[in-house]
Structure 1
């Protein structure tokens, strides 16, 4: 493992679809090419750890596994950062004006007295506020990314989390990380549970058990089951959670929260995730509308024979029966293995 600290001299490549970058870091012992998912701008000071690798085209590189961005008050670094294009409305010329005016106090001015940026020629009070907001948001987002990386969250997913919650994510992760599984596509129970374990959430937490129930129902849906009987749901969730619990208590809470639906079928309680229940109910209602609104008609053998001769096909007995049923019913289901004539 290699440790490196220095200024980002250049960003050679920045992916348009992720946080992947190729950067050049200038340290005390020279320039180093580093690659990885990094949220940083030119001129910023980075402390990183990574693995030395060799690229056939680009030679020796450091593949970054973790990093921290330090705030530097060096005038040259501030000038590079502000002029890198990271802040909308500031180019290299404007960055030079700002640093010439405020020197190594530039970031202090931006954070604490942003209205003073209007003292610089070409910056209005509105522009000064925009610069303050951009610098503040970038710093908050970077802090959030680094915080999430400690819990194994990829930078792409971390960006989605931050964009939804903003700075509130710190409180959410420490109190109820399972909220991520409910709100964000790509964050499932497993990821949320891993984060919860690292931040010290108890295994019998109410949030954890409810999220575990939802997870079991979603896994059942992936196997084609939109609901589970209550005993199966409990046994599977206990297996996943590794803790026994009173399922009735939590199901009542989840009913009130409208996260599930319980239906009694032939004396057995079946539990649906509310999403799957609503989808299944909607499909059933639409099928009934099609069936009840269908104008039925009949097809006899003479019609079928004329059709056969016209398209140069021969229907077997089951296919002829299916065609007649389809004409007389608004909805029907045709099943059969490969090669049994369903398409015909």
Structure 2
């Protein structure tokens, strides 16, 4: 797996983004006392504003635009203190989840509620006030662009480049890892530019 520098913060102004290959140039506000803005570039899914992310990559000096952080992967950082979890769950990311229900969730599951629910949404079934709509809102809200760290780690380990990984993410969405693990050869028919040789190499690498 790629190992590089890590920075944490929130996405700011998007200067450029290609919808065809996900190449992005944007401002990123570092989560520290200085709250400094830096320029980030790379191939990654659209990041959601007001959501905290940790980016992995490396600093490079561009001859024209100066210092930039080249992103290799991104992961969302979920809050883990009670007040922030309640505020997060009752934000527009989770339509229909009011503050009262969010508080009930935190009181029941604790400060790690978001991580617990991301792994097992069925935990909501035992919480007073849960409805099918609320459960679905929580499930969808916890699966956002930029949560593809596991898929990136898996595919890079098995020899697939970051650009192809971003293409798979656009085509298959959150289920990309499961679908390709089940049948890597579907890539030949469903993804332009990926031939049998690449799919076969991936399949053999997976065993």
TM-score range, shorter chain: 0.5 to 0.7
Unaligned runs of 5+ in 1: 202-344
CA-CA distance at 1:46 after TM superposition: 1.3
- 1:67 aligns with 73
- 1:24 aligns with 29
Secondary structure of the structure 2 residue equivalent to 1:35: strand
Match of 1:169 among 141, 164, 179: 179
Please list, as runs of the form range in 1=range in 2, the aligned pairs for 1:133-144 lying within 5 A after superposition: 133-135=139-141, 137-138=143-144, 142=148, 143-144=150-151
Unaligned runs of 5+ in 2: none
CA-CA distance at 1:181 after TM superposition: 0.9
C-alpha change, 1:131 and 1:180, in structure 2 (3 Å) is same
CA-CA distance at 1:134 after TM superposition: 0.6
2: CA distance, partners of 1:162 / 1:48:
23
Q: CA RMSD in A?
A: 4.4
- 2:113 aligns with 106
Q: Which has more strand, going by share of residues?
A: 2
Q: Which has more helix, going by share of residues?
A: 1
Match of 2:51 among 43, 48, 70: 43
Q: Is the Cα contact below 8 Å between 1:54 and 1:61 reproduced in 2?
A: yes
- 2:13 aligns with 12
Secondary structure of the structure 1 residue equivalent to 2:41: strand
1:292-317 CA deviation, whole Å, 9 max, x = no partner? xxxxxxxxxxxxxxxxxxxxxxxxxx
- Higher relative contact order structure (alpha carbons within 8 Å, sequence separation ≥ 6): 2
TM-score, structure 2 as length reference: 0.61
1: CA distance, partners of 2:94 / 2:18:
17
Q: Is the Cα contact below 8 Å between 2:151 and 2:177 reproduced in 1?
A: yes
Q: Deviating runs (4+, > 6 A) in structure 1? A: none
TM-score, structure 1 as length reference: 0.41
Secondary structure of the structure 1 residue equivalent to 2:36: strand
* The structure with more radius of gyration: 1
